[in-house]
Amino acid sequence: MKKLIPIILMLVMACTMVTGCSSAEDETAAAIEDFTTKDMKSAASNYTKFVKAYGKLNDYKTVEDVTNYCDKTLLPILDTTIDEVDGINVEDKEVKTLKSKFLDSMKLYKQGLTEYSAAIKAQKDKGVTKANNTLTKANESLTAYNDSVTELCKKYDLTVKTIK
């Protein structure tokens, strides 16, 4: 009986440790789900608005029209998105990483469009090329964010839905 009690205690501890790990995973899964579906809802809506507005950039032909559209339409949408995401309080390490990746991509879009607007105003081809390179990095950064969301959803057995 003396040997049985320590064995039973060890089994109870082992079960508690496994339960503890599962609970932490459940908390992380819940944090990811909350971040991507609740916390980021407004930011995702703003990003969709940005994508639609960005698609109209080629509709503007004059330097003044292009720079005004960048400065008064596209950049304010990005500023709002950045401010909203910046204000989201997250505790989970993996969710903090997601938040950081999304913010980095939005800041790169902002930097690229700011560079683009300035280069158009100054009529500098090198500046436009630099801006386009920054915007390419922004696209790559956003793809990395999306890939991270997908990977975490697979890891924690969450369903990924694409927002259109």
Helix, strand, coil tally for the chain in percent (to 5): 85, 0, 15
- Distance CA(162)–CA(146), nearest Å, equals 10
pLDDT tens sequence across 77-92? 999 999 999 999 999 9
| pLDDT value of residue 120 | 94
pTM of the model: 0.82
pLDDT above 90 covers what percent of the chain? 70
Helix axis angle, 93-122 to 125-155, nearest 10°:
160
Name the one residue in this structure whose structure tokens are 């902002």.
110
110-164 pLDDT per residue, tens: 999 999 999 999 999 999 999 999 999 999 999 999 999 989 988 988 887 665 5
